[in-house]
Amino acid sequence: MKITNICCIGAGYVGGPTMAIIAQKCPHIKVTVVDLNAERIAAWNDENVENIPIYEPGLSELVGEARGRNLFFSTEVDKAIDEAQMIFISVNTPTKTYGLGKGMAADLKYIELCARQIASIAKNDKIVVEKSTLPVRTAEAIKSILENTGNGVHFQILSNPEFLAEGTAVQDLLQPDRVLIGGETSPEGEQAINSLVEVYANWVPKERILTTNVWSSELSKLTANAFLAQRVSSINAMSELCEKTGADVNEVARAIGMDSRIGPKFLKSSVGFGGSCFQKDILNLVYIAKSYGLHEVADYWVQVIIMNDHQKRRFAANIVQTLYNTVSGKKIAFLGWAFKKDTNDTRESAAIYVSDYLLNEQANIAVFDPQVKEKQVLADLDYLQSRPSDLNKKGINVMDDPYEVCKGAHAVAILTEWDEFREYDWQKIYDNMQKPAFVFDGRNILDTPKLTAIGFIVQSVGSTN
């Protein structure tokens, strides 16, 4: 089937950018992105394209070009489903917060709602594409819902997991390492796979488009995230040993990264990984392994999370210990709140957990992040339910000037690796801080010798400086 009409359910960090690229690269396809969240859709449609709800380098230009031409954002879910030949499901799949599998399994209620909605609306055959990250064998459940409508409509279900990373989403989508498409091995399944291959082939070289069966595709996505997160936890485990032994984790990473079997990427020691997916997907993997009785497999992967929690906690504990064992009433300046640079996404950001720890120690925290607003910071803290909302509000102060944030502080902590932090006037920051002036570089981005020469006491992750 030659695809000319696509609908994507879910206008989030994946649905928005992915569909913007399809629209740009396939002018012959009408792409409609729908969401229940009217505020989010209104932001995607904002006259000023700079106000779209997701910050990603290059994204607003792309949306500005395609929007209204062959890219549309709408809350009319039923209409878009009805008109589309191919429907991407790109809704959120968070960790369950209730019932069986609470705190581990993926919550599939949004996925099931989508399947039921498609089943009730569709009047002609459609290809349904799982874009969300899903537990292996979810396609089976979707198929069962879609096939029991009794209206004679046929569905093909494909798994097409997304591998983009936030902050580089546009680049990752334009030049993906690979596109993965899983489908049934029947002739109808192969036809559906080909239809999707043809969409991607408008800009992705065919040798980078992998096709496989549905289960392998679903499990490959969880596996890729588990491997990536495991590299971060592995280097972070070494960072603690480096601090004890006088070795420098950056040097260790450089040395092992030159081994072509290991490779240099994803070896940056940090305050701990964040983001909406690594933890959620590993917990999901652990849950699946346990459900098959594979306890050693589950224990192996859970260690990646244990290490990451330890890294966040030890960063916070070190601040307290270094500041003479008390931060009560002291101002601690946070530079960065997003879970990584070049995104406004704060989900599971290390900054949330470090600040929670320091608020328990009665610190006063001031925050600056180039893309994150006060409302989001407070919502992130409230979500933890560690203390009443008004106490979070009292303990944390979000400002839009980094120099004001650092003024009068006992310590500055770098939580996100925004490039601009390197360029600040650190002499000016030093002059306005309490002395001794401490810097805790949770991302190893600052020029330590330069800061030390100014007078700062600098602590980096994984070295004794």
Question: Is 271 annotated to bind ligand?
Answer: yes
- Residue at 306: amino acid letter: I
CA distances from 239 to 228, 260, 270, 457 (A): 17, 22, 9, 19
228 binds, among ligand NAD, ligand UGA, none (CB under 5 to 8 A by kind): ligand UGA
Rounded CA separation 351/272 (Å): 9
The answer to whether 279 contacts ligand NAD (rule: CB under 6 A) is: no
Residue 215 interacts with which of ligand UGA, ligand NAD, none, CB < 5 to 8 Å by class: none
Task: Name residue, tokens 């992705």.
Answer: 204
461 binds ligand UGA (CB under 6 A): no
Would you count residue 56 as binding ligand NAD (CB under 6 A)?
no
List all residues 6 or more positions away from 251 whose beta carbon is below 8 Å from its beta carbon. none
Is-contact 219 292, C-beta < 8 A? no
Q: Which is nearer to ligand NAD, 278 or 315 (CB)?
A: 278
Is there a cis peptide before residue 436, judged by omega within 30 degrees of 0?
yes
Stretch that binds ligand UGA, among 142-150, 176-184, 267-275, 402-410 (CB under 6 A): 267-275
Least CB distance to ligand NAD at residue 345 (A): 7
Our CA dihedral for 76, 80, 83, 86, rounded to 10 degrees, sits at: -170
Closest CA to 355 of 325, 400, 394, 322: 394
233 near ligand UGA (CB under 6 A): no
Over the window 191 to 230, marking each residue x when it contacts ligand UGA by CB under 6 A and - when it does not, the resulting string is ----------------------------------x--x--
In the set 7, 8, 114, 277, the catalytic residue is 277
Tokens of 115: 């399947």
Residue 183 partner contact from ligand NAD, ligand UGA, none using kind-dependent CB cut-offs of 5 to 8 Å: none
Tokens found for residue 153: 């409509």
Mask for 122-161, x = binds ligand UGA (CB under 6 A) = -----------x----------------------------
Of positions 88, 155, 273, 287, contacts ligand UGA by CB under 6 A: 273
**CB 87 → ligand UGA: shortest distance, Å?**
21
Residue 201's binding partner out of ligand UGA, ligand NAD, none, with CB under 5 to 8 Å set by partner kind: none
CA distances from 269 to 254, 276, 407 (A): 12, 19, 28
Q: Are strands 5-9 and 86-89 parallel, antiparallel or unpaired?
A: parallel
Question: Binder to ligand UGA among 36, 153, 165, 305 (CB under 6 A)?
Answer: 165
Residues 75-104 that bind ligand NAD (CB under 6 A): 77, 90-93
**Residue 443 is assigned to a ligand binding site:** yes
> Taking the CA atoms of the chain, what radius of gyration do you get in angstroms?
24
Q: Which backbone phi and psi does 402 adopt, to 5 degrees?
A: -60, -30
Cβ 18 to ligand UGA, closest distance in Å?
A: 11
Binding-site size, ligand NAD (CB under 6 A): 27
CA-nearest of 290, 346, 349, 355 to 319 is: 355
276 near ligand NAD, judged by CB under 6 A: yes
Q: Which is nearer to ligand UGA, 24 or 308 (CB)?
A: 308
Bridge partners (DSSP) listed for residue 104: none
Is 307 a binding residue for ligand UGA by CB under 6 A? The answer is no
13 is an annotated ligand-binding site residue: yes
CA 54 and chain centroid, separation: 12
406 included as an active-site residue: no
Residue 166 interacts with ligand NAD (CB under 6 A)?
yes
Is 354 in contact with 315 (CB distance < 8 Å)? yes
Q: Could you tell me which residues come within 8 angstroms of residue 364 by beta carbon, excluding any fewer than 6 positions away? A: 329, 330, 331, 332, 395, 397
Q: How far is the CB of 375 from ligand NAD (least distance, A)?
A: 17
Query: Does the annotation place 95 within a ligand binding site?
Result: yes
Q: Is 410 in the site for ligand NAD (CB under 6 A)?
A: no
Question: Which residues are known to be catalytic?
Answer: 277
Give me the residues that bind ligand NAD (CB under 6 A), please.
9-15, 34-37, 40, 77, 90-93, 110, 113-114, 132-133, 162, 164, 166, 276-277
Binding-site entries for substrate: 162-166, 221-225, 261, 268-274, 339-340, 443
Binding-site entries for NAD(+): 10-15, 35, 40, 91-95, 132-133, 166, 277-280, 347
Give me the residues that bind ligand UGA (CB under 6 A), please.
133, 162-166, 225, 228, 232, 266-268, 270, 273-275, 277-278, 339-340
